[in-house]
Structure 1
Amino acid sequence: MKNTRISYFHTLLNSSTIYLKNGFFLFCTWVGGYIFPFFYSFLSYVNGGYIFFSLFLLLFLLFVCGCLTML
């Protein structure tokens, strides 16, 4: 009976981990796909693209981290 409880707990933990990974991946793709073009057009218009490069690196790294969690 004790082994059954442990295996149930590990199954629940694994399923929640997969759910969190999928959620983080979807969040990263949402940020990269929907938020990023808006910031691109806005910052390139206002500042001539100086802040744009650092923001691009931040969002790109966020997207890459989201993709790596799916491996």
Structure 2
Amino acid sequence: MKTQAELRAEYDRLFEAEDYEAAGKVLDLIEPISDEEWLKIVHLAPETDETVPEFVRESSRVLEAILAKRGRRAG
């Protein structure tokens, strides 16, 4: 059995190779991540030459505020 990290790497490889059917099958094996883990990934991601749309940044800020109100810390 592959680890979640190995499954994610396999999914990325298949997706880059445009083998979407196989990538979809691998994606079904990957456990979903929590909101907090997703926000951590987003905040730690390096800046790229592609800008993140403002509505995505705003959605992230709203989600972080909601989690903070519930006493949960994102990131």
Q: Which has the larger radius of gyration?
A: 1
TM-score by length of 2: 0.37
TM-score by length of 1: 0.38
